[in-house]
Structure 1
C-alpha cells in the first residue's frame, strides 16, 4: 500500500518537468560573410598599409581576423597579421610593423581573412607593387567643393604618366598640381553629397600597373549660398541653394537649427521666436557660417486695412477687406478699444473681425505679435442700432413696414412688435423691411435687434415707434354656393388661422395662399347656410365672414 501511494504522488512531479517554453527562438543568419581586399593605402619604402572592406557579417562567432602578406613568386613565406580590435562592417586598414626588402618591379599581394567557429573566410588577393613615391597621406580630412587640398611627400618621381582619381574604382579623374617636389595640391571636386567620403589615389595611366598610391580620404562638406532675398513675409517659403547639400547640413535661422531642405515654410522655422529679424546661416560639421544680412520680416501697410462697410454694431462680426493678416502674422492678439478680438477666415476666404461689447466711437485695431506690433490707420466706427423712421404705423398682421436707420446689408436683423417676433430683411444700407407677425389687435411698441456673435444670444434696441395692428377681416369668398368636396377660396387681410369652422363644423383641410386661404367642403357637412369663422391668436379672437355660404 505504501509503494502504491509513493508512485501516485510522484506522477505529477514527472509530468510537470516536461513543460515546453513559449519563448520565440532566435532566427539564425545563414548568409555567408562577405569581404573584399582593396588597393593598399600606402606602399613605399617607408610604409605599407593594407586595406579591405567588410561588406557583410552574419551571426557566426569571430575567433580571429587580419591580413596575410604573400609574394607572387614565393620568395618568402606567407605571413599572417592578426588584428585585435573589434570588427564591424566598413573599411578596415592595417599598417605592417615590418616588411621584407624589395625592388620596385616585384609584384606582391595580400588578402583579408576571418576565422569563425564554423568557417575560414578569405577575400580576393590584392596585388600591388612598391612605389618610388612617398606620401604623407591624410585620412581624416574634410573639405567643401572648390577648396584646395595640399599633400606633402616625396614627389620627385611623380610625372605626367600618373593620374589622380577620387575613388578606388578609378573612374573620375581629378586635376592636380605639383608645387615643388615635396608638395602637390588638387581642388575638391563637385557633384558629391555632404557626408560622402572620397578616397584619392594616384595611379599610372596604364591601370595594369600595380603601383596605386593612396594620398587622402576626404569627407565632403556641404555649403549653403546666401539667400537671394532677405525681405520676407511670414507666409513665404525659404528656398536655399548651395553645393554638395544633403540633410546632414544644418540650416541656422534665429536660434534654431534644422536639417537642410531646399524649400521650407518660414513660419515653421520662427513660430516660437520673437523679433522682426533673424540671423541665417548653416553648419556643416566643420564650419559655422552666419551670413552678413538677416532675414527681415516685412510689415503690412497700416493703411491697407478697412471694413467692407462704413460702421459696425457692438457684439457683431464685421467683414474686413484689404489687409490679409495671415500673410504677415500668426500667433497674434488683436484688440478694438479695450476688448480683445479675433480675425476669422471662413471656408470661402472671407475675413471678419469680432466687434466686442464696446461703446459707440471710432477705434483702431491694435495687433500685438511676437514679431512686431501694428496699429491700423483706418478705424472701426461702432454704432448702436437705431431706427430713425417708419413709413406707417397702422396695418394688419403680415403687412410690410419700411424702417429707416443704420441697417447693414451684411447683418441679420429681427423685430418685436409687442412680444411678437417679426422678420426683418435689409433692402439696402440704411433701409429694412419689417413683416408684422403680431396677432393681437392694438397699438404696441417696436423693438429691433440682431443676434450677437455668440448666437443664439441677441441684442435688442427700443425705438420711438409703435405699430397698431388691426383685427383681421374676411373680404370675400367664392363660390357662395357649394357642394361637398368643392374648394372655397377666401380673400382677407391680417388672418391667422388657429381653427377654421363652417358654422360649428371644424374644417381641417386648409391651404394658405398669398391673399387668404382655401378649404374643401368636408364630406359630413350638412346642407344649409353657414358663416365662415376663424379663431386666431392667443386671445382666441373670432373673425366671421359678413356673408354666409350655402351648402346644397
Structure 2
C-alpha cells in the first residue's frame, strides 16, 4: 500500500499521541496505588513447652522464631480449658503487650481456679499486628494426681533425698530424670506407703565438685519430657574436707583434701578453709606463711562448703623450737648496735624467711641466713647487763635459756700513744675476742683496723696515720652503719727511718735486705735510680733479688713516702 506524504504525517502524529497517553497512564498508577515492598516476611512463632506446673500456677513458654517488618501490637498466650468430659470451657488470654523482642517468651499463668486433677489444658502463643493475627499450635498439659513441694536440697554425695507432695497414682510409666552437673536418664526411687513422699539416693559422679547442681524431675517414660515434667528438687552437692594432722611449721603446705567429691589443686567454688574464724579459699598450696597474722599459737581448723561450717574436733598447734635449746655464739658478749651471731641450724625450719626479735624486751635487728644457719642479733642502745633474747615470727617463738651480755665499749688504758710507723701499739679495754674494730680520724676517715684479743686491741701505725693527730675506735653494725665511742685517743707518729742494708755489695740475683722503721708498709725501694718491688719480711724489713743493672759501680739504697726521701748513708757496690 502506497502512503502519501500527508498520510505519513498523520500516522506519525497519532503515534506520538498514543505514546504520550501510555506514559501518563503509567504515572497515575504508581502514585495512586503504591505496591507493598518486596521482601516482607510473616512472623513464625510456636510454643516450646511448660514447666513448674502446680495446683496454682504454670510457667508457659513460646518463641518468636522469625521476625517480620510489622510492629507487634500485642503478644501473649491463650489458655484453653476443658472439663473432665473433654468439653471446651471459656479460654483465658494473657496479654503481654507490645514488644520488639524475638526469641523465647515466658509468662507465669495463675488460673482463677486451681488446676483440677485429670483435666486437659492447652495453650498457644499469639502475636497480633495491625494486619495479622498469628497463632501457634496448641500445647497440652494436664495436672494429674501428682504434685510436689519443689525445694532446694543438699547432698554430700550419697544422702537419701526425700521430696514431699502427692504421689498417688504414680505408676510404672514414670521415671526420674537428672540433668545438670551430671546426666541420669532413669534414677531409681521409692514412694512412701501413704503416697505423700518420694525418696531416692543420688550419688555423685567422679567429676562433680562442691556447689555443682542437678535438677531432678519426674517425667513420663517413652514420651518427650516436654509433654510432662514435674520438677522435684534442685540439688547442690557439698564437699567434706579431710585435714591430716602432723608436725607443721609456717612454711609447710597444709594437707587438706576433699573426701567425698572431686578434688582440685586450685580453688573450688564456695569451698573455704576456716582458721580461727577466718576463711580462705580452698587450695592445695595453702601455707600459714601466706596467711594474715594470727595472735594465737593454737588454731581451730575447719571448712565451709556453702551451707555448713565444720570445725575439726581437736585444736591444732604448730611445732615450736625446743625450750631447752641453747645456741652457741661466736662472741661471749656484744656491744650496743654491734652484733652477735649464733649457730642456729636447729631454727632453720622456723625462721628461714621471716624472723624478728627482742633483746631485753627492746626491738633488736635480727636476721637469719638459712644457707649457713647463722642467727645474727644486734641489740639497740642498752645499758650494761644481761638480757633475755627472744626470736619470733607470726607463728613461732624461741626464748633463749641463755641471756645476752651487753657492754658498751670502754677503753681503760692510756689515751695517748706514740710510736714509729709500722710499730704495733696496744690499747686495753673490754674489747671482744675476735671482733673487728676500726680507727677513724677526726674527719671520720678510716686510718686503721684490727681484730681484738680478749680485752686487748693491737694495731699498727700505718702510712695513713698523720705525724700527730687523734683517732676514735668503733665498729660497724649489721646494716653497715659505723658506730664509734666518744673516747678520743691522741697519738704521735715518729715517722720512718732507714736503718741499714746488707750485704754491702753484690751482683745480679743476690738477695739484698733493707731494714728501717715502717719500710714494710712501703712496698717499693730504690737501688740507685732503679725502683724495685720488695718482699715484705715484717713492718720493718724487706728484701729483694738484685736485678740486672747497666754498668757497675756504687749506689745508694732508699725509699720514699710522699715527698720525703729516706736513703742510706753508705753505698752499695754492684759488680
Q: What does residue 296 of structure 1 align with?
A: 317
Q: Take 1:91 and 1:239, find their aligned partners in 2: how far apart are those partners?
A: 50
Alignment CA distance shift 1:488-1:468 (3 Å): same
Alignment CA distance shift 1:518-1:194 (3 Å): same
* Structure 2 contact 356–366 (Cα < 8 Å) conserved: no
Alignment CA distance shift 1:164-1:518 (3 Å): same
Is the counterpart of residue 254 in structure 1 residue 279 in structure 2? no
Matched residue SS, 1:327 = helix
Deviation at 1:425, TM superposition (A): 5.6
Alignment CA distance shift 1:275-1:131 (3 Å): same
Is the counterpart of residue 225 in structure 1 residue 241 in structure 2? yes
- Deviation string, structure 1 residues 332-360 (Cα, Å, up to 9, x no partner): 76322364212213484543111344455
Give the TM-score normalised by structure 2.
Answer: 0.61
1:94-109 residue pairs with structure 2 within 5 A? Answer: 94-95=108-109, 97=111
Alignment CA distance shift 1:344-1:472 (3 Å): farther
* Structure 1 contact 394–467 (Cα < 8 Å) conserved: yes
Alignment CA distance shift 1:144-1:369 (3 Å): same
* Structure 1 contact 452–458 (Cα < 8 Å) conserved: yes
Is the counterpart of residue 184 in structure 1 residue 198 in structure 2? yes
* Structure 2 contact 353–368 (Cα < 8 Å) conserved: no
Deviation at 1:497, TM superposition (A): 4.5
Matched residue SS, 1:311 = coil
Q: What does residue 389 of structure 2 align with?
A: 365
Q: Take 1:91 and 1:250, find their aligned partners in 2: how far apart are those partners?
A: 39
Deviation at 1:184, TM superposition (A): 0.4
- Deviation string, structure 1 residues 145-178 (Cα, Å, up to 9, x no partner): 4444322233233244433222179535433221
Q: Take 2:460 and 2:150, find their aligned partners in 1: how far apart are those partners?
A: 94
Q: Take 2:296 and 2:110, find their aligned partners in 1: how far apart are those partners?
A: 60
Alignment CA distance shift 1:370-1:546 (3 Å): same
Specify the structure having the higher radius of gyration (Cα): 2
Q: What does residue 335 of structure 1 align with?
A: 358
Is the counterpart of residue 199 in structure 1 residue 215 in structure 2? yes
Q: Take 1:216 and 1:437, find their aligned partners in 2: how far apart are those partners?
A: 97
Matched residue SS, 2:350 = helix
1:162-181 residue pairs with structure 2 within 5 A? Answer: 162-167=174-179, 171=184, 173-180=186-193, 181=195
Deviation at 1:198, TM superposition (A): 1.9
Matched residue SS, 1:324 = helix
* Structure 1 contact 330–369 (Cα < 8 Å) conserved: no
1:68-107 residue pairs with structure 2 within 5 A? Answer: 81-83=94-96, 94-95=108-109, 97=111
Q: Take 2:371 and 2:179, find their aligned partners in 1: how far apart are those partners?
A: 58
* Structure 2 contact 331–341 (Cα < 8 Å) conserved: no
Q: Take 1:62 and 1:366, find their aligned partners in 2: how far apart are those partners?
A: 81
Residue ranges of structure 2 left out of the alignment (5+ in a row): 1-44, 66-70, 82-86
Q: Take 1:153 and 1:140, find their aligned partners in 2: how far apart are those partners?
A: 14
* Structure 1 contact 354–453 (Cα < 8 Å) conserved: yes
Q: What does residue 480 of structure 2 align with?
A: 455
Q: Take 1:298 and 1:254, find their aligned partners in 2: how far apart are those partners?
A: 17
Deviation at 1:185, TM superposition (A): 1.7
Alignment CA distance shift 1:109-1:440 (3 Å): closer
* Structure 2 contact 321–396 (Cα < 8 Å) conserved: no
* Structure 1 contact 128–210 (Cα < 8 Å) conserved: no
Alignment CA distance shift 1:52-1:335 (3 Å): farther
- Deviation string, structure 1 residues 506-537 (Cα, Å, up to 9, x no partner): x58543433537699999x9997432233337
* Structure 1 contact 452–459 (Cα < 8 Å) conserved: no
Matched residue SS, 1:154 = strand
Alignment CA distance shift 1:167-1:521 (3 Å): closer
* Structure 2 contact 73–98 (Cα < 8 Å) conserved: no
Q: What does residue 25 of structure 1 align with?
A: none
Please provide the CA RMSD for this pair: 6.2
1:244-393 residue pairs with structure 2 within 5 A? Answer: 246-271=268-293, 273-309=294-330, 311-314=332-335, 315-320=337-342, 321-324=344-347, 327=350, 334-337=357-360, 339-346=362-369, 348=371, 350-358=374-382, 361-367=385-391, 375-382=399-406
- Deviation string, structure 1 residues 245-284 (Cα, Å, up to 9, x no partner): 823234433243333334322244342x422234444444
Q: Take 2:163 and 2:501, find their aligned partners in 1: how far apart are those partners?
A: 115
Is the counterpart of residue 216 in structure 1 residue 232 in structure 2? yes
Is the counterpart of residue 234 in structure 1 residue 261 in structure 2? no
Q: What does residue 60 of structure 2 align with?
A: 50
Q: What does residue 476 of structure 1 align with?
A: 502
**Range that drifts further, 88-97 or 316-325:** 88-97
Is the counterpart of residue 530 in structure 1 residue 555 in structure 2? yes
The count of aligned residue pairs is 489
Q: What does residue 412 of structure 1 align with?
A: 436
Q: Take 1:85 and 1:491, find their aligned partners in 2: how far apart are those partners?
A: 117
Q: Take 1:447 and 1:209, find their aligned partners in 2: how far apart are those partners?
A: 97
Q: Take 1:292 and 1:53, find their aligned partners in 2: how far apart are those partners?
A: 56
